[in-house]
Structures are given as C-alpha cells and as structure tokens.
Amino acid sequence: MPDLRDDPFGALPAGLPPGRLVSPDDDFTDEPWEGHPLLWVSDQPLDDAARRWVRLFEIREKTGLYPLLLDTLRNETDRPWHAGELDPPAPVGGIDVLTAVGVLRRFWEQVTEELDEPDGGLNGGGGRFDDHGVPRGPWPGLAEPGLLDRDPDEVARRHVEARYSGESMLLGLVPAARGADTIARVGWQGPCHHTGHPAEISAVLRSWEDRFGARVVSVGFDDLDLSVAAPPVNEAHAREVAAEHHAFCPDNVWQGAVDFTDYAGRLVGTGNWSFWWD
C-alpha cells in the first residue's frame, strides 16, 4: 500500500473521470486548513458511478484510496463536497484512542433519560420507555457480533450493484485504509447536530466493520449508507443492535420508525444500514 504520509493523490488510478481535489473551505470551518487535499471528487455526477465504485473498491489496497459514492444537498449540488464543507481531518491516531463502547455510552447518555430505579434498561425486569419506545436506563453495552458467514466485500459489491446501479452520483476517493476511517479523514460534518467529532463516528464504524462485516458505501450531506454482511437474525439480537443505532443516530428511531420495537424488527436479516442526522 502506498505511504499515505506522502502525497496520497500523486498516482490516481487510471481511467478516472474528470475530477478535482478538495480541501476544507475556510467558510465552513473554524480551523483554517493549510494541509494537502482530503479527497478527490468527480466533477459531475456519474450514471455509472456504481460500476466505477466496484472497480475502485477492488483495488483499494493497491491504491491506498477508499472509494465512496457521494450524494449532495438536495438543491445545492456543490454542497458539501465541491464546496469543501468539511472540517480539518482527524488523524488515524485520533480514532485509535477511541472505543465504540465509550463513544456509544456517551451518546446513549446524551439521548436517553436515566432511571433512578434499577429495573430499567434494554433487558431489565419491568423497564421503562420513552415516548418512542426506547428503553431508558444505563447503557446496555455492545451487541454480540453477528454470524459472519459471507465475504463482507462481496456483500458490499452486491449491495452497490443492486442499490445504486443507474443512479447518478458523485464518485470520491479518500486516502484511508478502511471505510470507517474515511468519515474522520474527510472531516465530514453530516452528524454535526449529534457530534462535532467525526472520529467518534469512525470509531463506531470500525467496530461494526469487525462485528457485523459492515462496509461504508455512500456518504451524503447528512446521511450514511453501509452494507452489512452479518446482520442480527433474531429479535433479541436486533434489539441490542437497535440500541447501538439509537445512540449512534437517534433520528433513525425518532423520525424514521414507528417506535423502537418497529425499528429493531426492521434490522433482522437486513443487509444494509442507513443513517440520517437531522
């Protein structure tokens, strides 16, 4: 793999469409950035972006560049990517020092109401719930890993071909060894109303890569799509995973489902997870 400390865009893969290198724009960040560009982005949305993504995904270890399908803000096609609506990147070491359990515990405490009684929690005796059916109480801990009996990379390829073929999207390349790290490495501001530290998002995604065979596929203005090779296969496990999702992106439950039980049920056997932060 190329040394990412050098110019990571010095030898872009052959056959790319016209594109540009993007850095954080001073209009969108409080920390002026004078370093090298953070990502390469195609100049125009591409009707064959899915096919191109698959090819670049297959050679990512050789190039040191992880591909992303990039969406934009509805009526402002330059945002966030062409406009440089990004923060300075978090170093890989800034992700290394975080743990998914630590990040998710803090998120959980931020979005759920603690109980004084000891019977609350995800699997507590009587338990109590908020207006969305989310169990209140102490952080229940990480879900058990899924049963990984499929190749996560093949699952990612099939998901992209099924979901994005024929859809016009920007194509991006990020100097990152794994998809989880791309979020921090481009200073993505999508979940800024939930966390201003994209390294926290990357830390959780790393854990999902390891436990559920997740792969980052698409990133938009404030949304994220992952393929998942080892989703929960029963309702009990799905509730554990749903608790992580609620901590990670509460809008999925608050605005995207009837209630917590409904949301958890949708996760059983589902091969992709999508998130949207309001």
Mean of the per-residue pLDDT values of the chain: 91
Residue 156 pLDDT level (bands cut at 50, 70, 90): very high
Sign of CA dihedral 70, 24, 199, 67: positive
- Between CA 273 and CA 238 the distance in angstroms is 12
- Is the model's pTM score more than 0.85? yes
Asked whether the beta carbons of 171 and 52 are under 8 A apart, the reply is yes
**What is the rounded average pLDDT of the residues 198-218?**
98
Evaluate whether 43 touches 20 at the Cβ level (below 8 Å). Answer: yes
pLDDT per residue over 35-79, tens digit each?
899 999 999 999 999 999 999 999 999 999 999 999 999 878 999
Domain spans of the chain, in order of start: 19-100+143-276
> In the 8-state DSSP scheme, what is residue 29?
-
Q: In what order do the strands lie in the sheet with 65-70?
A: 19-22, 39-42, 170-175, 65-70, 214-219, 223-228, 272-276
- Tell me phi and psi for residue 74, to 5 degrees: -45, -60
pLDDT band at 131 (very low <50, low <70, confident <90, very high): confident
Q: Give the tens place of pLDDT for each residue, 98-118.
A: 999 999 999 999 988 644 444
Cβ neighbour number for residue 93 with a 10 Å cutoff: 8
